[in-house]
């Protein structure tokens, strides 16, 4: 069933770091008109009626990956206006960070969408300037490049917003 993009959708998405904090988990999506090499997207999905965005990210990660989120932290809200195969889309995204338990394998991991389709997941480096495959939502990139900091050790890496004075 195609997604109705005629209204603004509310989403919750997760920046899930690898154990060493050098990569984060993303879905690897098929080519589109706008992205002939495909694209990466943060893990997560839509907020359902009567559900908070925090409840949504917990549910989505459980449904799609069969995992729990440890150290779940709300980072902020981002707006995503985009085109998907020529069709206009608009999302408000609650952005979270947290570690996955269990974490997917380094290679060969998948997630299962609500329609039953299986999508590969990959560990995308935080330092991704040399990658040709874009990351969406696009405004998440500002969180991932320069305006965030990792705190903690490898077993408890957590993403936090840097202070303006840092």
The domain that contains 100 carries what CATH number?
3.90.79.10
Residue 97 included in any domain: yes
**Count of domains forming the chain:** 1
Residue 2 included in any domain: no
Q: Which domain holds residue 27?
A: 9-160
User: Which CA distances in Å does 128 have to 65, 74, 163?
Assistant: 24, 23, 23
Give the mean pLDDT of 147-164. Answer: 47
Is the pTM for the entire model greater than 0.85?
Answer: no
Residue 165 included in any domain: no
pLDDT in tens, 18-75: 988 889 999 999 999 999 999 999 999 999 999 999 999 999 999 999 999 999 999 9
pLDDT in tens, 93-144: 999 999 999 998 888 898 988 888 899 999 999 988 889 999 999 888 877 8
CB within 8 A of 143, min separation 6: which ones? 15, 75, 76, 78, 95, 159, 161
CB within 8 A of 56, min separation 6: which ones? 11, 12, 44, 45, 46, 47, 48, 94
Strand partners, 96: 14, 74
3 state DSSP class of 142: helix
Residue 53 included in any domain: yes
Mean of pLDDT over the chain: 86
């Amino acid at each position: 069933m195609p997604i109705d993009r005629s209204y603004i959708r509310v989403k919750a998405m997760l920046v899930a770091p690898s154990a060493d904090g050098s990569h984060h988990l993303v879905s690897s999506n098929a080519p589109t008109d706008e992205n002939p090499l495909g694209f990466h997207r943060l893990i997560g999905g839509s907020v359902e009626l009567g559900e908070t965005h925090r409840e949504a990210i917990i549910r989505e990660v459980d449904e799609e990956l069969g995992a729990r989120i440890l150290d779940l932290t709300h980072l902020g809200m981002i707006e995503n206006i985009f085109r998907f195969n020529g069709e206009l889309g608009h999302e408000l995204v609650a952005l979270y960070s947290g570690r996955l338990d269990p974490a997917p394998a380094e290679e060969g991991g998948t997630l299962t969408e609500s329609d039953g389709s299986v999508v590969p997941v990959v560990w995308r480096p935080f330092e991704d300037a040399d990658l040709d495959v874009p990351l969406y939502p696009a405004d998440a990139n500002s969180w991932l490049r320069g305006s965030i900091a990792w705190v903690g050790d490898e077993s408890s890496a957590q993403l936090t917003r840097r202070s303006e004075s840092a």
